[in-house]
Structure 1
Amino acid sequence: MERRKPPQTVEGWYVLHDLRRIDWDAWRAAPERERERALEEAVEYLQAHERLADAEEGASAVYSVIGHKADFMMVHLRPTTAHLDRAERAFEGTAFAEFTERATSYVSVTEMSGYVHEDIGDGVENIEDPGMRNYIANRLHPELPDAEHVCFYPMDKSRGPDANWYDLPFDERAELMSGHGDIGRDYAGKVSQIISGSVGFDDYEWGVTLFAEDAVDIKHLLYEMRFDPSSSRFAEFGPFYFGRKFDPTELPALLAGEPVGEGAAEHAGSHAGGHSHENEAADDREGADESASSAASAGGRPSVPDEPPHDVVNASELERELSRVAVDLTDHPEAGYGLVFSSTEDAETLVEDVQGLAGNFDHYDTHVLTTVRGDKGRSTVVSLWKNERAANTASGFLSGLEGVERGIGAELDAEEGVGGAGAGVEGTDEDDELRGELTDLDIYAGKPHGEDVYAMVVYSEADSETVDEAVSGLAERFDHYDTHVKTAVYDAAERGRVAVVSLWKTRDAAEKAGGFLADIPGVVARAGEESGFGTMGMFYTVKPEYRDEFVDRFETVGGLLAEMEGHLETDLMVNVDDENDMFIASQWTGKEDALSFFRSDAFRETVQWGREVLADRPRHVFLA
């Protein structure tokens, strides 16, 4: 039998999962002074390791464990096994350790394998692609996420007579791993993971640690993976440990049976990430007046203001506002109450605070949607909730956003709501009606490269060099998939932002790519999130001798656009790797406003002129 060559691996930090049980009988029988001393030493130990007092790099955190298997779990990542050895012994030296017994432990090391990059065995520093280098380095030296829930389990790949993973050819294993990874990428932003190898270190071959704010996201991810062949045929699992993150200072509360972690928001003054909560005393509440940034980071349940700061309007008025900023209520049938706040600030200024609020709101099952949209140099914040009481609570935080002038709210009936165009992936084969209208105007709106493609476009505030470095690694990985058409970075000729355009043959593939693109430095929005209607004139490939003339022509047309009804902004975007490859990103309040421009004499003359200077026909992808 042929011996398979194992894929190369590269390792990072060593990992110790240390799970402990409390000897409750001994704890209850101990004098108060002994318990206080034990807790003091334990908290000091946990805090010292979280701040890396014992090492120059690494990470540590502590979690309560739900169920009978353990009471709490300490996780340490360190550069050497000596660090882990010292951390383990240091805990045993605390007075608190006398009241615990080890339930189990697991030793491993973060790793990446040749399934990710064929040259990984030569060392991360020798991989030419800087984006791929960064990707691998982040996986080998990860942060412990500040998420509420954790799930840890060890696993093997099967070596049975009917399903032996190690007898499969490399290409087959790589394809299975790629498909398995596709499922995980669907949960980008919801579930993060640390994969560590443990061959020769412990009883299984890998340790898997998952982190999520919503516990159900972990369940859904693992359930979906069960049906993937990589798991259904070849995976064997050890015991699962599930718990919640808490701050070391909350250890006394944990042993006293009081709420810890994010669940302590209504009772305590600090949570797992160290942010301050509202004080229990009503007189100490800052209430609805506190700033949006502190609301976003607090993690506690916001108090309900006596009188919400928004004006109550009828449903039709609110629905008109939602339609104007392209929020389609039929996409959110569970929404029972809507809020719209207007701000003098632009969307890029508010996006971080709004995302922080949305992350906080997501802890509550009454939250449906919170987002910000650009609106002629201003911005509009939309927040949808299942009931009025929850919306009134959110209103207090939204009114504190920078530049907010007015807010309105109303009860909603999503089935009767007006339609709008949401942000996200739009495919060229789903715009038939609009294409027909453009065809009637003798405007070609065909499919780029003659293919059915889906475009995912994100904007970043980072400089083009930084973005290009991050995207180059992603593009190389994307090229492993036959559904990938093109991913490129474009720089705005006039404005300080960069666009990343990723084209795919299927909607699912484009959406998965969006999960990766969202991690690019400085990302502020997807195309289509900033206005009611956007059209992208893509692949304007200009003949080199006409390039300067094309740019001058755009400036002339841009001046005309600025005076048109419903026009928000238009950018000329230039491919950073090919100055003759451009697209025009144009944002409009609505479809009819954009079509009015397409019907104009100025556009018709520009199209006629373009036939002389372009190396190919202009092709359009509609993003909203």
Structure 2
Amino acid sequence: MTGRPLPHASELPPASLEGWYVLHQSIELDWTGLKGADPAEAREALSSFAALAERWSGASEPGWSGVYRVAGGGIDFLIIHFRDTFDRLVEAVREMKLSAWGDHVLVREEYLSVVELGLYALTRELSGRIDPADREAWDAALADALAEERRKEYVGRRLEPRQPEHMPYVCYYPMDKRRNPERNWYRLSLEERAGLMAAHGKVGRRFAGRILQVISGSMGLDDWEWAVTLWAADPLEFKAIISEMRYDEASADYAEFGSFVVGKRMAAAELGGLLSSVATQ
């Protein structure tokens, strides 16, 4: 047996599967600069953005990007990029910066994460059969269990999410688990954490068909621990699910939330129509 021994089962982090990389970009548009620019320059900038949005929404490469018009928060757009590799994510950002559109936008905030499927129940079940301190046996059994999970069709859909066409609205926010002396998530046993997350998931499942949720992990990638992306047909669904989940013990006692951004996805043609008045002034 080599390497640092794993902790006792009660201290185990949950096993997880990772999917696409995600970048959330909060964008402010330079309205004044666009209105004051030469009309041909403004049209080129708007056309370049529409062309990028059109290409990003297709299936030319693993992943996609969505552009959302935002109300509030001091920003105009939220752009969410999903890519199968970190390098492709970097390339998508570079494309925007080098386009004519890139000269007229200010990126107010960016958040990097990777789609994550946390497997509390699997980890708890496996630790009941195999001692995690036996690193060789544990690593082999865990690898087999993760491979079996990844082969499931629904798991693939969760790791490579696509926004449903009938759910144009998005809600995004980062979050942490509390590490306060009185309420420290990371001091709970695996059994306690798994139980709390099972109850938390039960609340979320009541919104099946009304909300599509994507959890992306950001430990070691950005300042918070997770990013949450929700899609719905009606923005009031976000209020409903988040209000209900605030009373769930996992959230009420252990969750910390960052700023919320809410928007509506726009097609490339809509972007051109929305901003065409700027280009003709």
Q: Which residue type is aligned with residue 107 of structure 1?
A: L
Query: C-alpha offsets along residues 315-359 of structure 1, whole Å, 9 cap, x if unaligned?
Result: xxxxxxxxxxxxxxxxxxxxxxxxxxxxxxxxxxxxxxxxxxxxx
Deviation at 1:62, TM superposition (A): 1.0
TM-score normalised by structure 1 residue count: 0.39
Please list the CA deviations of residues 12-69 of structure 1 after superposition, one character each: whole Å capped at 9, or x if unmatched. 110111221001111110111111111111111111111143x2x2222111111133
Residue 250 to residue 128, structure 1, CA distance change in 2 (3 Å): closer
1:148 aligns with 2:155: no
Structure 2 partner of 1:13: 20
The answer on 1:104 being equivalent to 2:109 is yes
Q: 1:216 is aligned with what amino acid?
A: L
Does 1:249 find its partner at 2:269? yes
Kindly indicate which of the two structures has a greater share of residues assigned to helix. Answer: 2
After superposition, the Cα gap between the structure-2 partners of 1:241 and 1:30, relative to the gap in structure 1 and judged at 3 Å, is same
User: Aligned pair in 2 of structure 1 residues 101, 123: CA closer, same or farther (>3 Å)?
Assistant: farther
Q: Deviations over 1:471-503 (max 9, x none)?
A: xxxxxxxxxxxxxxxxxxxxxxxxxxxxxxxxx
State the Cα RMSD in Å.
2.2
CA, structure 1 residues 38+129, in 2 after alignment: closer, same or farther (shift >3 Å)? closer
Matches within 5 A, 1:149-188: 149-188=169-208
What's the CA shift for 1:182? 0.8
Q: Which residue of 1 aligns with 2:78?
A: 73
Q: Which residue of 2 aligns with 1:83?
A: 88
Q: Deviations over 1:578-623 (max 9, x none)?
A: xxxxxxxxxxxxxxxxxxxxxxxxxxxxxxxxxxxxxxxxxxxxxx
Is the contact between residue 60 and residue 144 of structure 1 (CA under 8 Å) also seen in structure 2?
no
> Which fold has the larger relative contact order, with Cα–Cα distance below 8 Å and residues 6 or more apart in sequence?
2
Does the C-alpha gap of structure 1 residues 231 and 89 become closer, same or farther in structure 2, counting only changes over 3 Å?
A: same
Is contact 2:113–2:226 with CA below 8 Å preserved after alignment? Answer: yes
Q: What do residues 539-587 of structure 1 show as CA deviations (whole Å, max 9, x unaligned)?
A: xxxxxxxxxxxxxxxxxxxxxxxxxxxxxxxxxxxxxxxxxxxxxxxxx
- Residue 620 of structure 1 corresponds to which residue in structure 2? none
1:196 and 2:216 correspond: yes
Go from structure 1 to structure 2 and tell me whether the alpha carbon gap of 1:84 and 1:123 turns closer, same or farther (over 3 Å shift).
farther
What residue is the counterpart of 1:126 in the other structure?
147
CA separation of 1:148/1:23 partners in 2, compared to 1, >3 Å: closer, same or farther? same
- CA displacement, residues 220-275 of structure 1 (integer Å, 9 cap, x when unaligned): 000000011111100001110001111012112333589xxxxxxxxxxxxxxxxx
Partner of 1:214: 234
Match for residue 64 of structure 2? 59
For 1:467-486, what aligned pairs fall within 5 Å after superposition? Answer: none
Q: Distance in 1 between matches of 2:66 and 2:253?
A: 34
1:22 correspondence with 2:15: no
Secondary structure of the residue that 1:18 maps to in structure 2?
A: strand
What secondary structure does 1:117 align onto?
Answer: helix
Which of 244, 248, 257 is the equivalent residue of 1:237? 257
2:116 alignment partner AA? E
Rounded to whole Å, the distance in 1 between the matches of 2:142 and 2:210 is 31
Q: Tell me the secondary structure at the aligned position of residue 122 of structure 2.
A: coil
Give per-residue Cα distances to partners, 1:377-419, cap 9 Å, x unaligned.
xxxxxxxxxxxxxxxxxxxxxxxxxxxxxxxxxxxxxxxxxxx
Q: How do 1:45-444 and structure 2 match up within 5 A?
A: 45-53=52-60, 55=61, 57-118=62-123, 121-122=142-143, 126-127=147-148, 133-146=152-165, 147-255=167-275
Residue 74 of structure 2 aligns to a residue whose secondary structure is coil
CA apart distance, 1:178: 0.8
1:123 and 1:227 map into 2 onto residues whose CA distance is 36
Alpha carbons of structure 1 residues 190 and 163: separation in structure 2 relative to 1, 3 Å = same
Task: Answer with 1 or 2: which has the greater Rg.
Answer: 1
2:90 is matched by which residue type in structure 1? D
Q: In the superposition, relative to structure 1, how do residues 161 and 73 fare at CA in structure 2: closer, same or farther (>3 Å)? A: same
Cα offsets for 1:286-329 (capped at 9, x unmatched): xxxxxxxxxxxxxxxxxxxxxxxxxxxxxxxxxxxxxxxxxxxx
Deviation at 1:200, TM superposition (A): 0.7
Cα distance in structure 2, aligned partners of 1:157 and 1:63: 28
Q: Note if contact 1:124-1:136 (Cα within 8 Å) is conserved in structure 2.
A: no
How far apart, in 2, do the equivalents of 1:214 and 1:89 lie? 33
> What is the CA deviation profile of residues 449-488 of structure 1, one whole-angstrom value per residue up to 9, with x for unaligned ones?
xxxxxxxxxxxxxxxxxxxxxxxxxxxxxxxxxxxxxxxx
* C-alpha contact 1:180 1:228 (8 A) present in aligned 2: yes
Letter of the aligned partner of 1:20 in structure 2?
I
CA–CA distance in structure 1, aligned partners of residues 107 and 150 of structure 2: 44
SS of corresponding position for 1:109? strand
In the alignment, the residues of structure 2 paired with residue 123 and residue 140 of structure 1 have an alpha-carbon distance, to the nearest angstrom, of 18
Contact 2:113–2:222 under 8 Å retained in 1: yes
Is the Cα contact below 8 Å between 2:30 and 2:104 reproduced in 1? Answer: yes
- 3-state SS, counterpart of residue 21 of structure 1: strand
Q: Alpha carbons of 1:28 and 1:121: their partners in 2 closer, same or farther (altered >3 Å)?
A: farther
Cα 1:174–1:219 shift into 2, 3 Å? same
For the residue of structure 2 that corresponds to 1:204, the secondary structure is coil
1:425 equivalent in structure 2: none
| Counterpart-to-counterpart distance in 1, 2:225 and 2:265 | 26
Aligned-partner Cα distance in 2 for 1:141–1:129: 11
Percent identity reads 38
Q: Which runs of 5+ in 2 are unaligned?
A: 1-6, 127-140
* Distance across 2 between alignment mates of 1:256 and 1:12: 37
- For 1:211 and 1:156, the matched residues in 2 are separated by 21
Aligned to 2:133: none
Cα distance in 1, alignment partners of residues 149 and 159 from structure 2 = 18
